[in-house]
Structure 1
Amino acid sequence: MLNHSIGMQIFIYLGNKTLNINNLGWCQFHSHHKQNNLLLDNNNVARVAAQYKNAYTLYTEQGTVQAVLSGKLFYELEGDFPAVGDWVVIHEQDSHFQITAVLPRKSKFSRKAPGSKVKEQLVAANLDKVFVVMGLDYDLNERRLERFIALIYESKCEAVIVLNKSDVCFHVEKVIEGLRFTYPHIPIVATSAIEDDGISQLKEHIAEGVTVAFVGSSGVGKSSLVNALLGENVQKVKEVRKFRDRGQHTTTNREMFLLTNGGLLIDTPGIRELQLWSTSESVDHSFGEIEALAEKCYFRNCTHQNEPQCAILEALEKGQIDKKRLANYDKMQREVQYFHKQDDRKSKREKKKRAKQLSKMVRKKMKMKYRD
């Protein structure tokens, strides 16, 4: 049965509008898949609004339901389970809902999972934009921002840089000017969730049916911004530790909310360890001015270390590019190459393991055949 209490919550956010899959972010990409799958209709398509250990909260045209994965799908997915933002197919059985399929994703925001294993951690799916929230209370780390931008390019989403806590910064315009020089094509919005500054500018980037994910470190004010956009305190917030200016984990799981205009917000827990899950092309894209200079180097395989007629080294000497930004570019490229090598080794080991298992099975069948 539908969870009517949460279903009412959706109705309040949307005002007097009738809830439909377009409000939930359904677009032409998904419609194309729907036309090629006769099993789909509006009554059995849902979107993942929250993910817990063994259960999911789903948004449907009829309201909100709780569901679990079907046993068959659990084994077919091999660990690649639905994430917040995914579109899924559901079926009702004995007044309970089961997820029986996950529809193709038009986009996804991922990072490398924390730890030494080379594994993808999916943060959210089917996004249109990613808001990178940076705090103006000593949290503005440009090297960390460069990593976020590279991951957003990889996700095929639009980036928006949100500078929160503008009420405690006395040189906001100077910060914005510096970032606009580095990211001329990315919108930058200064906000203060406490004083309600910049909230209307954020809303301009969240049209009906547009899905936005908030990402950033703990304590930068992601949940406070979500509350400001929703117009009520839905998400819990905590004060930043004053003696260290470090945030505390308030949001513990990813969750989707609907705005009155039909836009969708995904709040995510603070990200402390931000390792890349992207390609060299995404890193190049996020460091566009460095990549443009690299094409002017005399040698095609220039490492930008000590080669003659290196355009990057010449620009560095003239102060045209930031030394720390160049160092982070090199570091991120090496990181991507390392993880790709590790991933290739992992794939080879798994392929070898499957070949051994197949060979063992064939030998066993041959022995049984000759015994008979």
Structure 2
Amino acid sequence: MTASGHDLSFLGWDDSLAAGLPGGTVPARVARVDRGTADVIAADGHHHARYAAPLRRAVAADPVALPCVGDWAALTWLPEGRYELEAILPRRTAFVRGGVARVSREGLSGDSQGQVLAANVDVVFVAEPALHATDFADLGRIERLLALAWESGASPVVLVTKADLVGEHLPSLLQDVAAAAPGVELHAVSSITGEGVELVRAHLAGSRTAVILGASGAGKSTLVNALAGEQVMETQQVRAGDGRGRHTTVHRELIPLTGGGLVIDTPGIRRVGLYDMSQGVDLVFSDIEDLAEQCRFSDCAHESEPGCAVLAALESGELPERRLQSWRKLQREAAWMARRGDARLQAEATRQWKIIHKSVRGRYRP
């Protein structure tokens, strides 16, 4: 038995998942998705399965139910000799990106629909490249991705990739990133020299699944190849002149590694909106939350209130102004998404009641 699909335990299948498998179906893990179809890995190999009618109805009611890479699926064998994707098993973890909120004179606006980027993930690698010594890491992007990682239920790990390019500036760069990621493991990685690759591999022991997130040009595909020990993903150099990355990976894909574990490579993410956020932002900004507990007033907004420990830390230099502004921005966005989500649920409930009322009225019409 190998990780190619003949033994599903290599892909993370266990008894608890088997208990939720509908009768008459067989399990498979989603490796890649397309419109209305998915590439899956089952016990008898790789298959291309179309979505069954029940699944299409579920997706129409809630886009979050759309199959995604990493999902465990229930397949039904059809008489014509092919599998159909009948249902998605309950997700243990889900990395959900919301519509991106935009700030205008009228306030926040945007899309409140969620998109599941990856499911049943154990580790979220947040990759931020160190392009050259004069560049600073995008700490705001790291904080945003970490908030979503915490909310997914997986364990986040920050990777400063291309570490070989910064030389003596690496320690100060790591210090800045560590301050933006309290309580999160941080590794400097170079897929070229091999620095940190084994530390990353250790997070994939057994059949653990990781997803690598970051901007285009962060070296995600190169890292996947280093972990696999062979070229399984196409890579490109960053553009000359501006150091920006090209989009090499154009789809999410589940990649079983020969030495154990699985990795989901993703396209570069330009915009990441929060979705159904409850604790993720608080965990990313645990330093601010700890300070807030010392404020004189329990409902302190940290704007101008007397006895505000957060403002005192800002004044003393203990808390960087950039970090406080980032916290305020993500708090506003999370609150906006929660309001939009409630409005969407209320509208859906109203629509369902109208359907029921119309049905009942038609049934008893003389």
Please name the residue that 1:342 is paired with: 340
Aligned counterparts of 2:99 and 2:82: Cα–Cα separation in 1? 32
Please name the residue that 1:91 is paired with: 76
Please name the residue that 1:118 is paired with: 112
Instruction: Output the amino acid matched with 1:83.
Output: C
Q: Are 2:31 and 2:255, in contact at CA under 8 Å, matched by a contact in 1?
A: yes
Q: Are 1:89 and 1:100, in contact at CA under 8 Å, matched by a contact in 2?
A: yes
Instruction: Output the amino acid matched with 1:225.
Output: L
In the TM superposition, residue 361 of structure 1 has moved relative to its aligned partner by 2.8
Instruction: Output the amino acid matched with 1:56.
Output: A
In the TM superposition, residue 335 of structure 1 has moved relative to its aligned partner by 0.7
Q: Are 2:148 and 2:280, in contact at CA under 8 Å, matched by a contact in 1?
A: yes
Q: Are 2:122 and 2:208, in contact at CA under 8 Å, matched by a contact in 1?
A: yes
In the TM superposition, residue 18 of structure 1 has moved relative to its aligned partner by 8.9
Aligned counterparts of 2:216 and 2:336: Cα–Cα separation in 1? 28
Instruction: Output the amino acid matched with 1:155.
Output: S
Aligned counterparts of 1:36 and 1:105: Cα–Cα separation in 2? 11
Which is greater in Rg? 1
Distance change (3 Å), C-alpha of 1:328 and 1:40: farther
Please name the residue that 2:104 is paired with: none
Please name the residue that 1:253 is paired with: 251
Please name the residue that 1:57 is paired with: 39
Q: Which of 275, 278, 288 lines up with 1:277 in the alignment?
A: 275
Matched, 1:156 2:156: no
Distance change (3 Å), C-alpha of 1:164 and 1:107: same
In the TM superposition, residue 76 of structure 1 has moved relative to its aligned partner by 3.2
Aligned counterparts of 1:139 and 1:254: Cα–Cα separation in 2? 28
Q: Are 1:218 and 1:246, in contact at CA under 8 Å, matched by a contact in 2?
A: yes
Please name the residue that 1:104 is paired with: 90
Aligned counterparts of 2:160 and 2:280: Cα–Cα separation in 1? 23
Q: Are 2:5 and 2:44, in contact at CA under 8 Å, matched by a contact in 1?
A: no
Instruction: Output the amino acid matched with 1:363.
Output: R
Q: Are 1:34 and 1:40, in contact at CA under 8 Å, matched by a contact in 2?
A: no
Aligned counterparts of 1:36 and 1:273: Cα–Cα separation in 2? 35
Please name the residue that 2:56 is paired with: 74
**Unaligned ranges ≥5, structure 1:** 1-9
In the TM superposition, residue 251 of structure 1 has moved relative to its aligned partner by 0.7
* TM-score w.r.t. length of structure 2: 0.90
Distance change (3 Å), C-alpha of 1:233 and 1:71: same
In the TM superposition, residue 38 of structure 1 has moved relative to its aligned partner by 6.5
Aligned counterparts of 2:222 and 2:195: Cα–Cα separation in 1? 12
Please name the residue that 1:198 is paired with: 196
Q: Which of 39, 60, 69 lines up with 2:23 in the alignment?
A: 39
- 1:87-143 deviation per Cα after TM superposition (whole angstroms, max 9, x unaligned): 011122222111112111000111113572210010000000000010001372001
Aligned counterparts of 1:240 and 1:334: Cα–Cα separation in 2? 34
In the TM superposition, residue 363 of structure 1 has moved relative to its aligned partner by 2.7
Secondary structure in 2 matching 1:124? strand
Please name the residue that 1:4 is paired with: none
Q: Are 1:151 and 1:278, in contact at CA under 8 Å, matched by a contact in 2?
A: no
Percentage of pairs with the same residue: 34
In the TM superposition, residue 73 of structure 1 has moved relative to its aligned partner by 2.4
Aligned counterparts of 2:331 and 2:206: Cα–Cα separation in 1? 37
Aligned counterparts of 2:88 and 2:301: Cα–Cα separation in 1? 43
Q: Are 2:126 and 2:145, in contact at CA under 8 Å, matched by a contact in 1?
A: yes
Matched, 1:186 2:173: no
Q: Are 1:280 and 1:333, in contact at CA under 8 Å, matched by a contact in 2?
A: no
The more displaced of 166-175 and 208-217 is: 166-175
**Unaligned ranges ≥5, structure 2:** 102-109
Q: Which of 138, 141, 156 lines up with 1:141 in the alignment?
A: 138
Instruction: Output the amino acid matched with 1:128.
Output: D
Please name the residue that 1:175 is paired with: 173
Distance change (3 Å), C-alpha of 1:86 and 1:139: farther
Distance change (3 Å), C-alpha of 1:60 and 1:161: same
Q: Are 1:166 and 1:192, in contact at CA under 8 Å, matched by a contact in 2?
A: yes
Distance change (3 Å), C-alpha of 1:131 and 1:230: same
Distance change (3 Å), C-alpha of 1:62 and 1:232: same
- 1:193-252 deviation per Cα after TM superposition (whole angstroms, max 9, x unaligned): 223332122111111110000000011110111111112222111221222221121111
* TM-score w.r.t. length of structure 1: 0.88
Aligned counterparts of 1:145 and 1:73: Cα–Cα separation in 2? 34
Secondary structure in 2 matching 1:23? helix
Please name the residue that 1:306 is paired with: 304
Q: Which of 289, 314, 317 lines up with 2:287 in the alignment?
A: 289
Instruction: Output the amino acid matched with 2:75.
Output: I
Distance change (3 Å), C-alpha of 1:40 and 1:366: closer
Q: Are 2:70 and 2:118, in contact at CA under 8 Å, matched by a contact in 1?
A: yes
- 1:151-188 deviation per Cα after TM superposition (whole angstroms, max 9, x unaligned): 11100111111111112112112222333344353221
Please name the residue that 1:25 is paired with: 12
Q: Are 1:256 and 1:265, in contact at CA under 8 Å, matched by a contact in 2?
A: yes
Over the aligned positions, Cα root-mean-square deviation in angstroms equals: 2.1
Aligned counterparts of 1:156 and 1:162: Cα–Cα separation in 2? 19
Aligned counterparts of 1:54 and 1:36: Cα–Cα separation in 2? 23
In the TM superposition, residue 61 of structure 1 has moved relative to its aligned partner by 2.5
